[in-house]
Structure 1
């Protein structure tokens, strides 16, 4: 299974959307250089309020371009970076990868998937109706979060649009992604 990096984004300040750039540098154990969410301990403001010493399992936010396509078809004005992701991908079913999957990005970078992004009320403030659009229910009625996945940087490196994404699955048994 292989995908592609469609866009890379970062923002030095906490906010919702992130501007796209020509490249980002991933730093092992930290996240995206120059991004507000970079660090060994949690940087998301709501998580910092809960416990500022917890490990940062949300160093990198990845979102599938296929979700952006779906949202655009529903009338939402979204583009890469609009939902706060660092990496917009194409060609991978991110939401169904098992926890611990390693994404090899470009020549050197590696991101280990830690879990699902839990969309918050900021997404609703960005565009009314968007929160409901990125949440769903499966056949059993369980909540499905579609707003991307989170990961930690295992190996640093430069990542650019057009880079190939290769996968290494974790050992069996696989564990489905949960909210982090």
Structure 2
């Protein structure tokens, strides 16, 4: 785990999974430029503009025998070094120099992710089934560029100070 939380990987695709890694991206209120979703009913929109997930959870899932990799489940930002089970809707993430996200909801896993999981058990990353193991959606409060390796700061609801986990 890094000494401070960092943006480990940035992931985009023109629709579907896995998303591919890019070194930098512009984060707009509609999501990452160069990223798209095929199903606009279930994905995207201002409250689901960005999807985030934990590198440490991906590594733990790999150790359980799942063939998951960063970007495989459709997250846009893979973050290393955060105590993931402390995150919840309402938390804010500041990434790099300018990007400011507010976590809005846990992401329900999609059956299209079944191929990354032993026995097709894509619900392994369901907040309802395995609390603390879910991806999260975020709205963009401040647009800007993100770069792999950027510092990530977590702000808890009702707190003016950031928490380094």
Task: Give the TM interval when normalised to the shorter protein.
Answer: 0.7 to 0.9
Aligned residue for 1:75? 65
Bigger radius of gyration, 1 or 2? 1
Kindly indicate whether the alpha-carbon contact (under 8 Å) linking 1:95 and 1:116 is maintained by their aligned counterparts in 2: no
Kindly indicate whether the alpha-carbon contact (under 8 Å) linking 2:68 and 2:116 is maintained by their aligned counterparts in 1: no
Mark the CA change 1:147 to 1:99 in structure 2 (over 3 Å): closer, same or farther.
closer
Structural RMSD (CA): 2.5
Alpha-carbon distance in structure 2 between the residues aligned to 1:56 and 1:115: 12
One of 133, 145, 162 as aligned partner of 1:158: 145
| Structure 1 portions without partners, runs of 5+ | 38-42, 49-53, 137-141, 173-180
Alpha-carbon distance in structure 1 between the residues aligned to 2:115 and 2:156: 36
Alpha-carbon distance in structure 2 between the residues aligned to 1:74 and 1:113: 27
Which residues of 2 match residues 4-153 of structure 1 at below 5 A? 4-12=6-14, 14-27=15-28, 29-37=29-37, 44-47=39-42, 56-127=46-117, 128-135=119-126, 143-145=129-131, 146-153=133-140
C-alpha distance after superposition, 1:89-138 (max 9, x if no partner): 111133432322211100111111001010021111454434143247xx
Kindly indicate whether the alpha-carbon contact (under 8 Å) linking 1:95 and 1:149 is maintained by their aligned counterparts in 2: no
Displacement of 1:73 in angstroms is 0.5
Q: Secondary structure at the match of 1:123?
A: helix
Mark the CA change 1:25 to 1:95 in structure 2 (over 3 Å): closer, same or farther.
farther
TM-score, scaled to structure 2: 0.81
TM-score, scaled to structure 1: 0.75
| Structure 2 portions without partners, runs of 5+ | 160-165
Mark the CA change 1:164 to 1:116 in structure 2 (over 3 Å): closer, same or farther.
same
